[in-house]
Structure 1
Amino acid sequence: MTIPAVLLFFVFHTYPALQGLFYSFTDWKGYGDWSFVGLKNYLNVFQDSRALHAYGFTFKFAIVSTILVNIFSLLVAIGLNSKIKFQKTLRAVYFMPNILGILIVGFIFNFIFTHFIPDLAENLGINALATNILGNPDLAWVGIVIMAVWQAVAFNTILYLAGLVTISNDLYEAASIDGAGVWRKFWSITFPMIAPFFTINMVLAMKNFLMVFDHIIALTGGGPGQSTEAISILIYRGGFQGGEFAYQSANAIIYFIIIVAISVFQIRVLQKREVEM
């Protein structure tokens, strides 16, 4: 019964991946004839200033977004897990951003950054916010981070909530009797107990942000100039629009290896920390 699913997976995933790996050793432009060039494409990636800038931007964006998402989602999860009114309703409200299309959310945030905030700031006399940050090469990435974090917090919050409900209230009551404060309870009970969920959130968030694409397309398109061009944007444009199919296939293979390496490193480090806790 699994044969049809395996065949579909092979045709639409494995075969294209193997085909991309094959063409990464050629000079194929996406059309016409081709010939083998060996490791030339891979070596050229490390000498391409545009590719190196894209990698640098992607890592900066992914690291900052991953940290912020986990901080905010953990705070929201702790708040929703406490005894407050309309708890279930609030959980549904906080999860809504996750079910919205990224492009739709991106266009909304584009309007907010381009028109709503500058117009509001101008009327209030706040000059620092009166300009569109998406048009500033030094600040455009901040707008992308804000949008990405806002939407990603929803999913991470659900995972943290799943971890928080597994913690027995008896532990908190015993800690209160011993005179433990809020911070001590969090650091000695809450965080160690949800450590596996923290590992999952960190790995998934980093992986997703390293593969950022739709957020940038909707907000800046990689601009101004190339200031917010992530590696996925570069691979797409160079491979499908710039006649660099083979070269960008090599870039994609390198990108894939880096993402896998970072994910494995995160899992090993964070799981080791789980044991120490």
Structure 2
Amino acid sequence: MAKKNRTYLFMVIPAFIIFFTFHTFPALLGIFYSFTDYKGYGTWDFVGLSNYFNVFKDGRALSAYGFTFQFAITATILVNIVSLLIALGLNANIKLRKTLRAVYFLPFILSVLVVGYIFKFIFTHLLPDLGSGLGIEFLSFNILGNPDWAWIGVVILAVWQSAAFNTLLYLAGLSTIDNELYEAADMDGAGSWAKFWRITFPLIAPFFTINMVVAMKNFLMAFDQVMALTGGGPGQATESISLLIYRGGFEGGEFAYQSANAVIYFIVIVVISVLQLRVLERREEK
């Protein structure tokens, strides 16, 4: 028994030390510095809660919050609709079903930065050239250069790449449904929509909850997609909170101020995730 305990400790303690060193300690240090005027170098003094109050007065930060919420909500809704439709199609009795599952999962394993640069080329050159050649005015301009349309390009990129993971979870949920339920529904004369709304969706509700919470959390933390596709531009039209924290904290000498911003944002994400879980889990019980 003692030998097993030692083995357990030898396995757990190194993992705990690594996790604490590279995750917990930096987080605690960031919280500590959020109460100071530390610039990332040199000396510092305590300033209390002034950094936190200043975040709510900062127009650039509020604009970043607005874009991030707009992007995250839109992308979360779209990615779940798209991935659920794909999962329903792949779950049907079609040819090359297993091959198509692998193909649809490929975007998820690709580098976000690489995909971002590819989509940037598509939006900047390919689509405008195609639109000009076909005489389609809507496609004839670069949406990434338009402050009102650039965020849509980021949404398209995020949904395209994230749909693979959500589709995989929905497929796992669909595989748990007994076909006898659908056979019984067919005997009762139920249509496709009735079978989906009365059988499929209620039974995959736990997977829907997971997808909604994870997707919202990931999109709220958007960084790579924005950095690769627009760099936060044009101007600051697509600057996300994560990108603002990175630029201000590591490039702009606002380490303490952006640490406070990061703490606020962490609390916001936790609150949103908890509310989502409570609402959606209550929906599962109905």
* Counterpart residue number, 2:206: 196
Specify the code of the residue in structure 1 equivalent to 2:239: E
Specify the code of the residue in structure 2 equivalent to 1:166: T
Kindly indicate whether residue 197 of structure 2 is the aligned counterpart of residue 170 of structure 1.
Answer: no
Q: Residues 73-222 of structure 1 correspond to what in structure 2 (within 5 A)?
A: 73-222=83-232
Alignment partners' CA distance in 1, 2:144 and 2:195: 41
Cα distance per residue 1:207-228 (max 9 Å; x no partner): 0000000000111000000000
Specify the code of the residue in structure 1 equivalent to 2:217: K
Alignment partners' CA distance in 1, 2:227 and 2:75: 17
TM (norm. structure 1) is: 0.99
Alignment partners' CA distance in 1, 2:73 and 2:59: 21
* Counterpart residue number, 2:276: 266
Q: Residues 39-50 of structure 1 correspond to what in structure 2 (within 5 A)?
A: 39-50=49-60
CA drift of 1:229 comes to 0.4
Identity of aligned residues (%): 72
Cα distance per residue 1:173-225 (max 9 Å; x no partner): 00010110000000000000000000000000000000000000111000000
Specify the code of the residue in structure 2 equivalent to 1:216: V
Alignment partners' CA distance in 2, 1:51 and 1:203: 24
Specify the code of the residue in structure 2 equivalent to 1:83: N
Kindly indicate whether residue 24 of structure 2 is the aligned counterpart of residue 30 of structure 1.
Answer: no
Moved over 6 A (4+): none
Kindly indicate whether residue 76 of structure 2 is the aligned counterpart of residue 69 of structure 1.
Answer: no
CA drift of 1:128 comes to 1.6
Pairing partner for 2:256 from 234, 246, 250: 246
Cα distance per residue 1:139-187 (max 9 Å; x no partner): 0000000000000000000000000000000000000101100000000
Alignment partners' CA distance in 1, 2:236 and 2:117: 20
* Counterpart residue number, 2:246: 236
Pairing partner for 1:5 from 5, 8, 15: 15
Alignment partners' CA distance in 1, 2:180 and 2:262: 50
CA drift of 1:83 comes to 0.2
Kindly indicate whether residue 236 of structure 2 is the aligned counterpart of residue 226 of structure 1.
Answer: yes
Alignment partners' CA distance in 1, 2:138 and 2:162: 27
CA drift of 1:3 comes to 0.3
Alignment partners' CA distance in 1, 2:36 and 2:86: 50
Cα distance per residue 1:93-129 (max 9 Å; x no partner): 0000000000000000000000000001100011121
CA drift of 1:79 comes to 0.2
* Counterpart residue number, 1:56: 66
Alignment partners' CA distance in 2, 1:38 and 1:224: 35
Structure 1, unmatched stretches of 5+, are none
TM (norm. structure 2) is: 0.96
